């Protein structure tokens, strides 16, 4: 593989426009996941590439000119390059190849080739070398895998044995230790993702990944101040390239977890404006979901909300799971104007996403999360319009929050309307709330009692008639409290006339001393 890379760089220099186009197209095919089952066997590399039909590629490592593609090209084509990039990425970073190629020299990547032959002996590392860290971590991982008695203990041991051991072996220097652990976490994430197959529950794998994502977030915050120091610039530049590649290469169902890594590192580690602008240039021409998310986050950090929200609108429902983080950030910084702009576009997307989730528990979980964000904002700013709008749109999953809000703000008539809309029985409502409403706004309860009486009469049995009569007594007291006796008499006359064939109920009315006067 290293021999083919050297041939590639020497034969197809990037000073040539055509070669640059081949690189661009090859990268695009690779990053969009169009390469299928690329692998190396002996001195050959084989792969299939989806591009207006399936293209079959055979690469000869020892004699690059003998490589072939079913597209019919007689020289290097994007399909061949995409296949090679796929094989290369399985053990090395794309950045190391591209950097060496751009500089028209194999000097930058030959150390990587050499390291491949001694990887198994990488028992130590250089504090200032990212490639040395990764070789060391990989060696430790090989040792760990060979020591476990069963594959069934692999993932558990990765979190409870392998990574804790790496912590003890991390650099002691405070300014670089978090960066080492960040890359160690990212390495572990890759191993977890690689181990995923259809026989394992997705959520089990996702839960393990999130432990390492949490570590990335923690270590990123630890790097916030030391990342400003220029002595880390070389390490940080390599890290930026590596993390970008990992995101662009990541496929579903774990794009979200890898994007979290990208977010957290750009929030706290690569936070310089000139780096963000440079990163946006690196992402130009990339149209995958992963690239669009990366661009959106960078624009968000640069406060270029208009451009960021264009991407949100463009990607619509695909963005729904990712919007919570940006909204949370705006709430935390109390950025009222920005939050309103983001919610104007995001709330319909998030609402639709919540309603489309397959289970009630998931819908309720996401609703609770979103409303918590908006509650915090409403309490800080004393402006609750956005919170109320969201609760209305998220019914019935927002019932708990909406019911509490209406009662606490003494919107008792809307509270009653909500109970009727939900179809709740009067007997099932909390007594202390009904008592409070009777004191303050008895008229608001009229609809609840009228509905409860009608439902009791529909049951057509003596027990229900007694219940209806009892409810009538309470309702009568409410009419008296509101000084609406004339309306009460009209209601009672209509009720008696409409139920005159219900003899048992008429008897209950007589017992209850309901007369026509």
Query: Per-residue pLDDT for the chain (517 aa), expressed as one digit of tens each?
Result: 777 888 888 888 888 888 888 998 888 888 887 888 788 877 788 888 888 888 888 887 767 777 888 888 888 999 999 999 988 887 777 877 887 787 764 444 444 444 443 344 567 888 889 999 999 999 999 999 888 877 788 998 999 999 999 999 999 988 899 999 999 999 999 999 998 887 788 889 999 999 999 999 999 998 887 766 656 788 999 999 999 999 999 999 999 999 999 999 999 999 888 999 999 999 998 999 999 999 999 999 999 999 999 999 999 999 999 999 999 999 888 888 898 899 889 999 999 999 999 899 999 999 999 999 888 778 777 778 888 988 999 999 999 999 999 999 999 999 999 999 999 999 899 999 999 999 999 999 999 999 999 999 999 999 999 999 999 999 999 999 999 999 999 999 999 999 989 999 999 898 888 855 4
Give the pLDDT of residue 231: 65
Q: Sheet harboring 35-41: ordered strands across? A: 35-41, 44-50, 54-60, 68-69
Give the pLDDT of residue 453: 95
Distance between CA atoms of 65 and 273, rounded to whole angstroms?
44
Find the helix or strand (DSSP H, E) in which 36 lies.
strand 35-41
Using the Cα atoms of residue 247, residue 252, residue 254 and residue 260 in order, give the sign of their dihedral: positive
In sequence order, the β-bridge partners of residue 48 are 36, 56
φ, ψ of residue 68 in degrees (nearest 5): -135, 155
φ, ψ of residue 55 in degrees (nearest 5): -105, 135
Give the pLDDT of residue 150: 76
Find the helix or strand (DSSP H, E) in which 474 lies.
helix 462-481
Which three-class secondary structure state does DSSP give residue 195?
A: coil
> Cβ atoms within 10 A of the Cβ of 335, count?
16
Reported residue count of the chain is 517
Give the pLDDT of residue 121: 57
The answer to whether the bond into 253 is cis (omega within 30° of 0) is yes
In sequence order, the β-bridge partners of residue 59 are 45
Specify whether the CB–CB gap between 390 and 345 falls below 8 A.
no
């Amino acid at each position: 593989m290293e021999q083919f890379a050297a041939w590639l760089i020497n034969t197809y220099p990037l000073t040539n426009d055509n070669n640059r186009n081949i690189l661009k197209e090859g990268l695009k095919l690779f990053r969009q996941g169009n390469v299928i089952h690329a692998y190396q066997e002996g001195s050959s590399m084989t792969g299939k590439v989806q591009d207006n039909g399936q293209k079959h590629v055979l690469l000869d490592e020892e004699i690059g000119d003998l490589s072939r593609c079913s597209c019919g090209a007689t020289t290097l084509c994007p399909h061949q390059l995409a296949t090679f990039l796929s094989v290369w990425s399985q053990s090395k970073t794309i950045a190391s190849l591209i950097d060496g190629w751009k500089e028209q020299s194999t000097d930058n990547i030959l150390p990587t080739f050499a390291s491949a032959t001694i990887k198994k002996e990488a028992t130590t590392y250089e504090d200032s070398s990212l490639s040395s860290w990764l070789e060391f971590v990989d060696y430790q991982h090989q040792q760990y895998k060979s020591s476990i008695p069963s594959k069934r203990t692999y993932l558990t041991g990765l979190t409870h044995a392998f990574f804790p051991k790496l912590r003890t072996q991390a650099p002691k220097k405070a300014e670089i230790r978090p960066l080492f652990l960040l890359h160690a976490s990212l390495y572990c994430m890759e191993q977890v993702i690689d181990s995923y197959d259809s026989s394992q529950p997705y959520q089990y794998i996702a839960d393990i990944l999130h432990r390492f994502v949490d570590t990335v977030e923690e270590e990123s915050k630890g790097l916030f101040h030391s990342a400003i120091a220029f002595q880390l610039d070389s390490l940080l530049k390599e890290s930026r390239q590596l993390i970008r590649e990992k995101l662009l290469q990541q496929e579903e169902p774990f794009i979200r977890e890898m994007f979290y890594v990208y977010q957290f590192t750009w929030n706290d580690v690569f936070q310089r404006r000139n780096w963000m602008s440079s990163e946006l240039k690196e992402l130009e021409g990339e149209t995958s979901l992963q690239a669009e998310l990366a661009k959106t986050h960078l624009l968000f950090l640069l406060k270029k909300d208009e451009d960021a929200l264009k991407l949100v609108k463009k990607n619509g429902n695909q963005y729904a799971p990712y919007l919570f983080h940006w909204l949370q950030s705006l709430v935390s910084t109390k950025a009222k104007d920005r939050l309103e702009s983001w919610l104007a576009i995001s709330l319909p997307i998030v609402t639709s996403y919540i309603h489309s989730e397959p289970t009630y528990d998931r819908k309720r979980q996401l609703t609770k999360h979103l409303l918590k964000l908006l509650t915090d904002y409403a309490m800080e700013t004393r402006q609750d319009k956005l919170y109320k709008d969201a609760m209305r749109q998220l019914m019935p999953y927002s019932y708990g929050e909406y019911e509490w809000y209406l009662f606490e703000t003494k919107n008792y008539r809307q509270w009653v309307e909500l109970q009727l809309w939900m179809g709740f029985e009067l007997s099932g409502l909390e007594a202390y709330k009904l008592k409070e409403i009777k004191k303050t706004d008895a008229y608001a309860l009229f609809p609840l009692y009228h509905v409860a009486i009608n439902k009791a009469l529909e049951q057509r049995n003596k027990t229900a008639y007694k219940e209806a009569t009892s409810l009538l007594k309470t309702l009568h007291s409410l009419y008296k409290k509101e000084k609406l006796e004339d309306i009460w008499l009209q209601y009672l006359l209509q009720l008696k006339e409409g139920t005159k064939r219900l003899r048992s109920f008429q008897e209950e009315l007589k017992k209850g001393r309901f007369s026509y006067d």
